[in-house]
Amino acid sequence: MTTTLLTNAILIDPETGTEAPGSLLIAGGRILATGAEAEKAGAESVIDCGGLCLAPGIVDIGVKVCEPGERHKESFGTAGRAAAAGGVTTIVTRPDTNPAIDNPETLEFVTRRAREDAPVRVLPMAALTKAREGREMTEIGFLMDAGAVAFTDCDRVVTDTKVLQRALTYAKARGALVLGHIQEPGLSKGACATSGKFAALKGLSAVSPMAERMGIDRDVSLLEMTGARYHFDQVTTARALPALERAKRNGLDVTAGVSIHHLTLNEYDVSDYRTFFKVKPPLRAEEDRQAVVEAVASGLIDIISSMHTPQDEESKRLPFEEAASGAVGLETLLPAAMRLVHAGDLTLPVLFRALSLNPSKRLGLETGRLTAGAPADLVLFDPHAPFVLDRFKLLSKSKNTPFDSARMQGRVRATFVGGQQVHGEPLNAA
Amino acid sequence: MSFRQTHLLGIERLAPDEITTLLDLAEDYVALNRSADKHSDALAGLTQINMFFENSTRTQASFELAGKRLGADVMNMAMQASSVKKGETLIDTALTLNAMHPDLLVVRHPNSGAVDLLAQKVNCAVLNAGDGRHEHPTQALLDALTIRRAKGRLHRLNIAICGDIAHSRVARSNLLLLHKMENRIRLVGPPTLVPGAFAELGCEVYDSMEEGLKDVDVVMMLRLQKERMDGGFIPSEREYYHRYGLDAEKLAHAAPDAIVMHPGPMNRGVEIDGTIADDINRSVIRDQVEMGVAVRMAAMDLLAQNLRARRAEAAA
């Protein structure tokens, strides 16, 4: 078992909340030791990290890989390479494919395709109800046996509360984690913008941010009934935060996420109907954005994800209201999040708590840490390196990023999965 | 010349001096249209294509007449019945059109922003004849010309825009234009049809006609856009007429010389009483139609001048 020492790095440790110069000793795909202990061990090879930041690899919950059904938009190969390029070492995939991943056979297909093609770890989620139609729960037990790490109908809200109550009760018994999209579906029907001055001026059908609060309130009531393990996939409005805070204080087993787009963009970025900025839920007011950034800093919102949603040019080159929702995000997640660090909103350890540690904890994974014994899933990045994003250079098959031509700061230099380098110029061992 | 636009997509992008330039030229065309020989060759040799993805009789006829009076070759494409139904996207339609070398493209589309999208992909001047609930610039310009002629000025007026604001592109364009020209604007209607966000656009919002119309100089009524509504925004047409329909009693709250406008087509007995609409002392509704042709002639003339200048520059 060869030992490798990654030295001269700034270690970003979300568990201890520290960022400090140090070294990491890895062997057999795992972290053996950190700090002075690592340096004394006398490793067989030594890699000089050149003073760059070394953090636990990102665990991205809610990535859409368009297999099965729409491989022309994204495949496990392209999504996996995009993830590696973005410092994402584990992608937790969504079941909103065509057909939906709602039975063990489809899940096995996904697992096989991922194993064949993806250079990063892939953990699949499965649908909560059959065909994501909100009528009957899926085979939660069999799907867990086949490797499903969580259950979700993605952006479809299970409107029948009896169906959801039963699914949550069953999931609770199996210990399954359920992800919910919080939205009052009646209010948000047909909406593609957040109500306010911008939507009024542009003549876009809009939804009040209150629809998200109503979604949270309903789901929290069901969680009080069932005690299920639950994760709100995207909390994006200031109005929803007190409800989330109450649910946590009352001891419910809940966590919350937010997409990087809602943390770094607001409704005005849509500008002249730019469809690459059409996401679900729609981009919010600046006050909402600031409130959710604060909630990430305080830990009220636990997890940041890319909500990677590939769409081809045809589905985006349409009038705004008719265009498909979603944006790719695997490769821009870290540089976009660095905007929050450079703006002084988050520290690097707090950022990686939300990107790596918390999602790992929520899914019961060993990753997301820099402690001895953890898998050597790592990202080495230069937090300051500036660049202008060119969407055609993205490795994702679909290029629908809202950050095209944006000035960004923060580049991934190398990504390691289980100690193996899966992205970046090979780092020379001395 | 102080008109710098490549397209006329909305009032939002126009500067006040550009609006004045356009209205001044439209005055000339009002005179031409009233003369015996209603013909100019401002657009001679140019091709104008009217693409209406949404039903329209009045606006399409107005644009067609405007183009013909200026000597353009005018073609109407009825887009509801065409390849759009066969799944062709707006972009494909634009590429097809480019091959026909049009010079002026007049577009109406049911989606907000669709005309902007089309304008990015064609190499001619595009005029927005209404996109979803977004803008309808020539309607606002013809309303402005009508007001200027009736009131002698287009600034420091109190103007009430009444009725279905939420679904109205006419309201948005008028709001923007009348703001740019420094007027005070009131929006009057039931709260379901006048979303609170409009107050942030610098208007006063009223839900009572009596208060909203108090001492205004101009009363603009809007059509109840039943076709754009999904579900009940008002309890019934008769309750709406009772509270928000313009009749003599409600109009009495406005200034004694206030004018009454309506973009048409009217729902008589829903948003406006028939006798008010036909009152030649108060109603300028028929003037609006006349100004419509003149304003569209002016808009196409100015855009064509800019188009020719750009082409000459490219050729040089």
Q: Following DSSP, what letter does each residue of A373-424 receive, concatenated?
A: TSB--EEEEEEEEEEE--GGG-SSS----TTTT-EEEEEEEEEEETTEEEES
**Distance from the B103 Cα atom to the nearest Cα atom in chain A, whole angstroms:** 23
Is the pLDDT at A87 greater than 70, yes or no?
A: yes
Top residue of B9, B13, B117 to mutate, by most chain A CBs within 10 Å, is B117
B108 touches A at CB < 8 Å: no
Top residue of A187, A202, A204, A316 to mutate, by most chain B CBs within 10 Å, is A202
The whole-angstrom separation of Cα A364 and Cα A383 is: 29
Residue B228 to residues A205, A340, B232, Cα–Cα distance (Å): 11, 41, 11
Whether residue B111 and residue A314 make contact (CB cut-off 8 A), yes or no, is no
pLDDT along chain B (316 residues), means of 10: 93 97 98 95 96 91 97 89 65 85 95 93 95 97 98 97 95 96 97 89 94 97 80 87 95 97 91 94 95 98 96 92
pTM of the model: 0.93
Express each pLDDT in A316-332 by its tens digit.
999 999 999 999 999 99
pLDDT at A42: 82
Residue A38 to residues A24, A327, B237, Cα–Cα distance (Å): 6, 41, 79
Using a CB-CB distance cutoff of 8 angstroms, which residues of chain B are in contact with residue A317?
A: 89-91, 117
**Distance from the A332 Cα atom to the nearest Cα atom in chain B, whole angstroms:** 26
The whole-angstrom separation of Cα A26 and Cα B110 is: 60
B90 touches A at CB < 8 Å: yes
**Distance from the A285 Cα atom to the nearest Cα atom in chain B, whole angstroms:** 12
Residue A129 to residues A118, A143, A218, A226, Cα–Cα distance (Å): 27, 12, 18, 17
Which residues make Cβ contacts (< 8 Å) with residue A105, sequence separation at least 6? none
Our separate counts of H helices and E strands in chain A read 15, 18
Say whether B131 sits in a helix, a strand or coil.
strand
A272, A318, A321 member nearest B89 (Cβ): A318
Interface of A with B (CB under 8 A): 190, 195-197, 199-204, 272-273, 314, 317-322
The whole-angstrom separation of Cα A237 and Cα A239 is: 5
Contact by Cβ (8 Å): A357, A15: yes
Cross-strand pairs, B106 = B50, B127
Give the whole-number percent of chain A exceeding pLDDT 90. 96
B135 touches A at CB < 8 Å: yes
B89 touches A at CB < 8 Å: yes
Q: Kindly report the CA angle at A50 between A49 and A53, in degrees rounded to 5?
A: 65
When pLDDT is averaged across residues A58-87 and rounded to a whole number, the result is 97
Whether residue A200 and residue B195 make contact (CB cut-off 8 A), yes or no, is yes
The whole-angstrom separation of Cα A150 and Cα A372 is: 27
pLDDT at B145: 98
Q: Are strands A303-305 and A254-259 parallel, antiparallel or unpaired?
A: parallel
Express each pLDDT in A7-46 by its tens digit.
999 999 999 999 999 999 999 999 999 988 888 888 889 9
Residue B308 to residues B7, B42, B119, B313, Cα–Cα distance (Å): 13, 11, 17, 8
Q: How many other CB atoms are found less than 10 A from the CB of residue A426?
A: 8
pLDDT at B72: 97
Report CA torsion sign: A30, A36, A40, A45. Answer: positive
- Computed on alpha carbons and rounded to an integer, the radius of gyration of chain A in Å comes to 21
Whether residue B112 and residue A317 make contact (CB cut-off 8 A), yes or no, is no
Using a CB-CB distance cutoff of 8 angstroms, which residues of chain A are in contact with residue B222?
A: none
**ipTM of the complex in this document:** 0.89
**Distance from the A400 Cα atom to the nearest Cα atom in chain B, whole angstroms:** 17
Express each pLDDT in A264-305 by its tens digit.
999 999 999 999 999 999 999 999 999 999 999 999 999 999
pLDDT at A16: 96
The residue type found at A419 is G
Whether residue B230 and residue A317 make contact (CB cut-off 8 A), yes or no, is no
pLDDT at A393: 97
Using a CB-CB distance cutoff of 8 angstroms, which residues of chain B are in contact with residue A320?
A: 111-113
pLDDT at B58: 93
Interface size, chain A vs chain B, as Cβ–Cβ contacts under 8 Å: 61
Which residues make Cβ contacts (< 8 Å) with residue B192, sequence separation at least 6? B166, B233, B234
Top residue of B121, B133, B161, B177 to mutate, by most chain A CBs within 10 Å, is B133
The string of DSSP letters for A364-386 reads T-S-S--STTSB--EEEEEEEEE
**Distance from the A203 Cα atom to the nearest Cα atom in chain B, whole angstroms:** 4
A197, A199, A319 member nearest B111 (Cβ): A319
Q: How many other CB atoms are found less than 10 A from the CB of residue A404?
A: 16
Residue A308 to residues A54, A81, A92, A331, A333, Cα–Cα distance (Å): 24, 13, 11, 9, 9
Q: How many other CB atoms are found less than 10 A from the CB of residue A249?
A: 8
The string of DSSP letters for A256-316 reads EEEEHHHHH--GGGGTTT-GGG--SSPP--HHHHHHHHHHHHHTSS-EEE--B----HHHH
CA dihedral A271, A273, A277, A279 (to 10 degrees): 130
Using a CB-CB distance cutoff of 8 angstroms, which residues of chain A are in contact with residue B113?
A: 202, 204, 272-273, 319-321
B89, B113, B172 member nearest A273 (Cβ): B113
Express each pLDDT in B30-64 by its tens digit.
999 999 999 999 999 999 999 999 888 899 999 99
B132 touches A at CB < 8 Å: yes
A190, A199, A319 member nearest B117 (Cβ): A319
B192 touches A at CB < 8 Å: no
The whole-angstrom separation of Cα B289 and Cα A342 is: 57
The whole-angstrom separation of Cα A89 and Cα A57 is: 5
**Distance from the A325 Cα atom to the nearest Cα atom in chain B, whole angstroms:** 16
Express each pLDDT in A151-163 by its tens digit.
999 999 999 999 9
Phi, psi at residue A216, to the nearest 5°? -60, -45
First to last CA, chain B: 21
